[in-house]
């Protein structure tokens, strides 16, 4: 399959079981570049089982990223880890686990620059549009996203309220890709929906 020059990342939402997440991931896999397990309340054992569920459903190891848990990423030999503000320092993770791809969640240009200086491989920036998961926080919007992309030397993945109808505007800022939670996980037909994201994105280069 020939992908257009942008990535789709799918992030678990903490609502469905990781078994159900794996089932939906398997349907979308040909169109998705990375599946993130973001489950703050699960134990190490439960997270490892979650990774194993993805692998059993045919998701390649190089498409699996786990939030925060460097130990689980290392033990399961998956693609990498997504770090937040409470996680280990990026430079420590890169030094101790050089094989892992390391992403960093950022909310400003200064945080993105710091991630770059410490050796992150990419940044996840948001939230771009209003989203039920962050009802009390103002969205950052496309203007701020474009400012960050313009100065960042790292690939930027945009997250937050991204729907097929606004994909084009997001991609026109120059981001590397988009990250989606409810837009793909809370639909009964994830295959059709992920194709909609892909098709709308393709219009940017048509």
Residue found by looking up tokens 């991630």 in the block = 115
Give the pair of three-digit tokens for residue 72.
Answer: 């689980």
Could you tell me how far CA 3 lies from the centroid of its own chain? 17
Active site residue 127: yes
| Cβ 37 vs Cβ 70: under 8 Å | no
DSSP for 47-87, please give it: HHHHHHHHHHTT--GGGEEEES-HHHHHHHT-SEEEE-TTS
Q: Out of 9, 36, 107, 127, which one is annotated catalytic?
A: 127
Residues known to be catalytic: 127
């Amino acid at each position: 399959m020939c992908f257009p020059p942008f990535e789709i990342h799918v992030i678990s939402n903490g609502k469905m079981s990781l078994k159900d997440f794996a089932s939906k991931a398997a349907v979308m896999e040909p169109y998705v570049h990375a599946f993130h397990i973001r489950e703050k309340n699960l134990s190490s054992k439960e997270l490892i089982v979650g990774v194993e569920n993805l692998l059993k459903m045919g998701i390649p190891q190089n498409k699996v990223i786990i939030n925060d848990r460097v130990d689980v990423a290392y033990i399961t030999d998956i693609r990498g880890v997504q770090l937040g503000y409470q996680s280990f320092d990026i430079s420590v993770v890169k030094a101790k686990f050089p094989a892992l791809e390391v992403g960093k969640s950022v909310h400003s240009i200064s945080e993105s620059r710091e991630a770059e200086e410490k050796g992150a491989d990419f940044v996840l920036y948001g939230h771009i549009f209003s989203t039920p998961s962050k009802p009390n926080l103002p969205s950052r919007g496309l203007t701020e996203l474009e400012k960050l992309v313009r100065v960042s030397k790292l690939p930027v993945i945009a997250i937050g309220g991204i729907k097929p109808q606004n994909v084009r505007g997001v991609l026109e800022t120059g981001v590397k890709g988009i990250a989606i939670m409810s837009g793909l996980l809370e639909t009964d037909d994830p295959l059709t929906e992920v194709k909609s994201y892909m098709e709308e994105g393709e219009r940017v280069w048509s």
